[in-house]
Structure 1
Amino acid sequence: MIDYTVDGDGVASIVWNVADRPMNVMNNESVGAFRDAVYKAIGDKAVKGVIVTSAKNDFVAGADLVNLLKESKDPAKALQNSFNLQKLFRDIEKAGKPFVAAMNGTALGGGYEICLSCHRRIAADNPKALIGLPEATIGLLPGAGGTQRLPRLIGVSKALPMMLEGKKVDPKAALALGMVDEVVAPADLLKRAKEWILGDGQTGHVKPWDQKGFRVPEAANTPRGAQVFTAGNAMLRAKTQGNYPNAQYIMSCVYEGMLVDIDTGLKIESRYFVACTQSKEARNMIRSLFFSIGEANKLANRPKNVPTQTYTRVGILGAGMMGAGIAWSASAAGLQVVLLDSTQESADKGKAYSAALLDKRIKSKRGTEADKEKQLGLIKATTSYDDLKGCELIIEAVFEDRNIKADVTRKAEAQIAADAIFASNTSTLPISGLAEASSRPANFIGLHFFSPVDKMPLVEIIRGKQTSDETLARAMDFVKKIRKTPIVVNDSRGFYTSRVFATYVTEGLTMLAEGVHPAIIENAGKMAGMPVGPLALADEVSMELMHRVRQQTRKDLGDAYKTDGSEPVLQAMVEKLGRIGKKAGKGFYEYPADGKKKLWGELSRHFPVKPEAEQPDVQDVVKRLVYIQSVETARCLEEKVVIDVRDADVGSIMGWGFPPFRGGTVSNIDTVGVQPFVTECDALAQKHGARFTPPKLLRDMAAGGKSFYAI
């Protein structure tokens, strides 16, 4: 757990080595053992100084979140635990002998806070190591002194963005920021730590904030500090819409803490930290952004007893935006890629997409010309189906037309091995229908990537009616290979992500048709926590594409097709007004070349706005935009389109930007409470339409007092 030794020169080593974990984590057992070692070193007069380091490849990853959630159930106990940890770190600072953090690898959260309590931080020159305080990304705040020590160390203006955005930087960037004192060759790390202890450390073991006359130059009661906090609060409000209490708590910790001494500041931090752990937002974010995404990345739902597939060569049909992005992701993972299109010009253009991305990496010093040459060498741009021979997987990313997809499916399958997988990147067309063109439907599956592929981390895997367990398992192996997060759904029109995402846009268009002011609709979307409003999102997606999908759906379903309030708006924008979205430079918004986008001034002429007195309360609009997504997700669960509620939450956050503080579309129902959610949906259905009617699944859960998650 913690190894403790003292060498002949009186230098003690406290080495983190938590058993049965790939990385060191802070929990009751490990912190207890660390505490014992610290006080043993402090109490031993023969010890001249202490090196704190790790026996693993990384330093300390931070808190054990399972332990944290368990402990936080009793706020009083959680507060006392926080005080105890703060005391331990303060005792390190006031030990009267030097402590050096020898950071051999990644040090995050509580792990970096250990380092902050030491008198010197020396990091190994490991470009893969990450250093920072990322607690904000899961709804928490640095609760072991981070909000007090980092601003005192590097200044408020540099520390606040690091904490509020949860930034993680490599050792050299940390050195430039002042987060570490030295970066040395890995082989010299312990040697250099010992040299400092026996040299400058003998007199340099009093922290600046423990020295007489220390003042924080950017405290709120200074001119510079007043500017920082005034601007910071305004920017924070604009970015979070007040939806993330932990972000405001971080700001408050720093604001209040910099006006008082370090010990009082640490007490302030502990109280805000415990308040964070009690919030529904933190529990939602920890559950979905840590545990559920972690399970997805571990392929928790992968069929058992299927050997892991090793990939070396994949084929991609269609070198447009999606195909080119998939080619980038596969080649970045070291796979040979055959990028095929109908013309060599189109295929070359698709390969050029990767070249442009690699040039950006070189410009930002995240890659080299050699890296570029190596990755581009893996991509073969071609028009010949013969080049697909030897591919273990084919991914079709051609135009959303059944006939075109059927044609490329037959041509590709004629060249590949009988056990190779064929996947379609379609976002709307049912996989089982597309598989009818395949001679091996058991090997046919959907791999729905999100645009832009190089940035979006999610892949929705769609299992058709005849897709085998083996094909599903092997498809999941591919997604893991290219370092993306898979969710698994069953075949259905629109699958899960496209189907539920569409409800957000559709509800916005429906409200516009009802006469709700477009600015209210858009602002409500952002207040709800969505990245952009539904009208802006319609522009991004392209109303022409949305209209075409509607027409195809109407053709496929015939009399079973159900229209909705958004359809007249969509039809008018595309067919009458020719405003198809951002790609055309005109949609619900105008896109001036020399300025920011703005709502089209003629919207109210074509879609009359109700008088101000009849406009809805903005919170009612927020509720409609959020609840419609959750109730549609519940239908997907009832229809077995989505099997695992964790996949539903992960998919909603990573796929289309459902607000993380709500935990995903399913967690949102639990947060409201299943019974209250059903009651509120019934009220919305009565007022706005049957689309809000909760499915039987939710009614049964409400009657039984059940929830989707245990915590």
Structure 2
Amino acid sequence: MNSVRIEQDQSGIVHLILDKQGASANLMDDAFRADMAKAVIELGQLDYPGIIIRSAKSTFFAGGDLVKIAGVTKDNADEFYQMVESIKASLRALETGGKPVVACINGAALGGGWEIALACHYRIALNHKAVKVGLPEVTLGLLPGGGGVARTVRKFGLEQAMPLLTEGKQFSAEQAQNIGLIEALATDEAEMLVMAKAFIEANPQISQPWDQKGFRLPGGSPSSPKLAPMLAVAPAVLKQKTKGVLPAPEAILSAMAEGAQVDFDTACRIESRYFVELVTGQVAKNFINTFWFQLNEVKAGASRPDGIAPSKVTKVGVLGAGMMGAGIAYSAAKRGIEVVLKDISLAAAQRGKDYSARLLDKQIQRGRSSEQQKAALLQRITPTDSADALAGCDLVIEAVFEDRGLKAKVTQEAEAQISESALFASNTSTLPITGLAQASSRPENFIGLHFFSPVDKMPLVEIICGEQTSDASLARAYDFVLQLGKTPIVVNDSRGFFTSRVFGTFTNEGIAMLGEGVSAAAIENAALLCGFPVGPLAVSDEVSLTLMEKIRNQTIHDLAAEGIEQAPQGGDATIDRMIELERPGKLAGQGFYDYPDSGKKHLWQGLEAQFFQAQAQLPLQEIKDRLLFIMAIETARCVEEQVLTSSRDANIGSIFGIGYPTWTGGALQFINQYGVEPFVARADQLAEKFGDRFRVPASLRDMAASGQRY
């Protein structure tokens, strides 16, 4: 057997050792299915007091074979279903054999790995940071298909099982023990085996609670007076969260509720059917492609230049202690990096440091940090008003206002203090890096690091290479972003780069529709129903219309200097009108929305009088298509212009940076799943009706003609 081996120790206990040959981790694949079936037959021929399931790898079990799952279609779904049922049958045979089965968990046991542990009668884990347990399948558009739904519901009851199954949370060993996922913790593997043997000796005959006569579901059955009202509204509550675009949570809820009303084996078959339905669906394939394969490629350094030794930053300077600079300082200090936080006055720099203190106070209140950890982190941030304090920094990040003159000034002040080899980065969101690097005496060491607000929460950093940025500088910047625990994407220089440029099409399209007379509520609701986290009008208020106006005017000025005339955008007149009405956005307390002192924000009622036209109303799908297509088309333009050089960076960046709906798998994956040829045809329809901005680039039209995809 190549995935599982059987060993029997001196006390007769069988050790079922998970050890996939030629691999660094154990997988729930065809080989595992075959080996588990053989192992069950062999166990039937042995005399033993119990079974210990353990791993020969550094992790317990990695979960399902995502390569195989990604390849499952409607045509081979039945074959896949039979494989799933075979694995379940083997686990069920272990569970119902009458002998105690103990899982000894030495590392990560997520997804299929945790489902193996759930099939055991007792679970012991190392009390080590490497141990993570849980059922994160929902984050890949799937549900636990190895008995995880049926067993979790029977172990915890419907109410307590719901967040475990629908939220995909991962738990440390201590957390898992506190909520009853793990029964015992051990300090090392030797102690773990001693504890496992003791359990086996103390429980010579055992069965799962759900296999015992008279078993009742913890917390009550679906028809119980306590649960029935909750289950009646649960689908509506769930749909409010998913907006109907994420099928996995709804399938999980269905499998839970239906499975709770039948016997265990029937519940497992119900689970398998929902699992296979999700596996063959497009959303799961989008998730797996982007959030597993492409995200892992990014973390492995796919866009990092080869042949350059890894580096680490020990001291970073941050110029500008506003919200962005303060957030960057906190993120660096959190990772153990010394930070010099500079602003025009010591008081301003101190206010930036205080931002970290406030974040840490909130974490302490929630039990996620301590006063000692707070003090240690704050000790690493030095506020200053002097450029001299930047001496010794490996990296300096400029995070001042979007003003070319100011950025040039702080660049030259910093470079006078740092070594020739130090890296200098601008956090600009729109200004081309090549132009900003003209103020630098070492443009090969100049790069863009575009963080997203709030920096402490947003996972993405867009790395922008100027024309003279060296490969070594790119590699160092990439390493720094990973050092912060964030996700880097790499783009080439252009106005707005990738994320700001594409994000601008989203806000502009929403504002343009408003200016055409389309209902503001229809625009915002259509965006939410697409899966965008926030509507284009709401997010424009967050950005501020005055800032959008400044960026537009700066762009017009810059392009004019290059002899290029900037064509008016569809939303320009609406932005100008809102500014005339003194409604520039959230910071002013009024924009497209009103922001009352008490109560939730709501759309300004005056929008109807200012813009609404009854004859301009559009079908819901038309509004949704305009928002989805305009961003995807602009992303395709970025590919054609070589601003983007990989679909990986495009998909990860569009979701993690600018809120493109997760169910799509990203802007380019949306084109793939829509079908390149149908996408081009639909874009042409939109162009005929709403303007040439919906015309796809020539390269995408060529792809459609040749049957290619991103």
TM-score w.r.t. structure 1 length? 0.96
Alignment partner, residue 191 of structure 1: 194
Residue 130 (structure 1) shift: 2.1
For 1:13, the equivalent position in structure 2 comes to 15
- Cα drift, residue 20 of structure 1: 5.3
Residue of structure 2 equivalent to 1:109: 111
Q: Distance in 1 between matches of 2:6 and 2:653?
A: 45
Alignment of 1:218-617 (within 5 A): 218-558=220-560, 560-574=565-579, 576-607=580-611, 609-611=612-614, 614-617=616-619
Structure 2 equivalent of residue 211 of structure 1: 212
Look up the equivalent residue of 1:288 and give its one-letter code: T
State the alpha-carbon separation in 1 of the partners of residues 315 and 34 from structure 2.
50
Return the offset for 1:196. 0.8
How much has 1:472 moved relative to structure 2?
A: 0.9
The verdict on how the C-alpha distance between 1:20 and 1:325 changes in structure 2, with shifts beyond 3 A counting, is: farther
Instruction: Give the residue type in structure 1 aligned to 2:620.
Output: V
What CA distance in whole angstroms lies between the structure 2 residues aligned with 1:28 and 1:170? 29
Counterpart residue number, 2:60: 59
What is the count of residue pairs matched by the alignment? Answer: 702
Question: How far 1:582 moved relative to its partner?
Answer: 1.8
Per-residue deviation at 1:301?
A: 1.6
Given residue 292 of structure 1, which amino acid in structure 2 is its aligned partner? Answer: Q
- Matched letter for residue 206 of structure 1: S
Q: Deviations over 1:411-430 (max 9, x none)?
A: 11111111111110000011
Counterpart residue type for residue 88 of structure 2? Q
Aligned-pair CA distance for 1:3: 4.7
Gaps of 5+ in 2: none
Note if contact 1:101-1:122 (Cα within 8 Å) is conserved in structure 2. yes
Aligned residue identity for 1:692: F
What pairs up with 1:67-216 in 2 under 5 angstroms?
67-70=68-71, 74-127=76-129, 129-186=131-188, 188-199=191-202, 201-203=203-205, 205-216=206-217
Q: Distance in 1 between matches of 2:19 and 2:378?
A: 41
Shift of 1:35: 4.4
Equivalent residues of 1:393, 1:421 under 8 A apart: yes
8 Å CA contact 2:33, 2:83 repeated in 1: no
How far apart, CA to CA, are the structure 1 residues paired with 2:127 and 2:154? 25
Letter in 1 for 2:576: Q
For 1:184 and 1:369, locate their aligned partners in 2 and report how far apart those are by CA, in whole Å: 29
2:180 counterpart letter in structure 1? G
Query: Is contact 2:36–2:90 with CA below 8 Å preserved after alignment?
Result: no
- Which deviates more from structure 2 when the two are superposed, residues 294-303 or residues 538-547? 538-547
CA displacement at 1:36 relative to structure 2: 3.7
Distance verdict in 2 for CA 1:227–1:129, change over 3 Å = farther
Q: CA deviation at 1:456?
A: 0.7
Q: Is the 8 A contact 1:42 1:95 kept in 2?
A: no
Alpha carbons 1:2, 1:15 under 8 Å: kept? yes
User: Does the 8 Å CA contact 1:101/1:118 hold for their aligned counterparts?
Assistant: yes
Paired residue secondary structure (2:226): helix
* Residue equivalent to 1:26: 28
1:153–1:179 contact (8 Å) kept in structure 2: no
Q: Matches of 2:220 and 2:240 in 1, distance apart?
A: 22
Tell me the distance in 2 between the aligned counterparts of 1:344 and 1:34.
66
1:71 deviates by 5.1
- Partners of 1:153 and 1:178 within 8 A in 2: no
Residue 92 (structure 1) shift: 1.4
For residues 19 and 361 of structure 2, the distance between their equivalents in structure 1, rounded to whole angstroms, comes to: 40
Other structure's SS at 1:448 match:
strand
Determine if contact 1:42/1:97 at 8 Å carries over to the other structure: no
Write the deviation string for residues 616-661 of structure 1: whole angstroms up to 9, x where unpaired.
1111111111011101111111111101011000000100111111
Q: Is the 8 A contact 2:105 2:131 kept in 1?
A: no
Q: Distance in 2 between matches of 1:614 and 1:639?
A: 35
| Greater shift in the superposed pair: 212-221 or 442-451 | 212-221
Q: Which amino acid aligns with 2:595?
A: Y
Q: 2: CA distance between counterparts of 1:3 and 1:333?
A: 41
Shift of 1:526: 0.4
Aligned-partner Cα distance in 2 for 1:641–1:668:
19
1:21 positional shift: 4.6
Deviations 1:146-204 (A, max 9, x none): 111101100111111221111122233323333222334446322211111110x223x
The alignment partner of 1:495 has SS state of: coil
Q: Distance in 2 between matches of 1:34 and 1:382?
A: 63
Q: How far is the alpha carbon of 1:19 from its aligned partner?
A: 4.9
Determine if contact 2:517/2:616 at 8 Å carries over to the other structure. no
Quick one: distance in 2 between partners of 1:330 and 1:704? 47
For the residue of structure 2 that corresponds to 1:43, the secondary structure is coil
Partner SS for 1:563: coil
Which one of 666, 673, 693 corresponds to residue 695 of structure 2? 693
3-state DSSP class of the match of 2:514?
helix
Identity, % of aligned positions: 47
By how many angstroms is 1:105 displaced? 2.8
Q: Distance in 2 between matches of 1:560 and 1:174?
A: 61
Cα distance in structure 2, aligned partners of 1:257 and 1:674: 40
Measure, in 2, the Cα distance between the counterparts of 1:243 and 1:170: 30
- Distance of 1:299 and 1:591 partners within structure 2: 43
Following superposition, the deviation at residue 22 of structure 1 comes to 4.6
Cα-Cα RMSD = 1.7
- 2:657 match: secondary structure: helix
Distance between the aligned counterparts of 2:236 and 2:186, measured in 1? Answer: 40
Contact 2:96 2:207 in 1 (8 A): yes
CA distance in 2: counterparts of 1:690 and 1:190, whole angstroms: 69
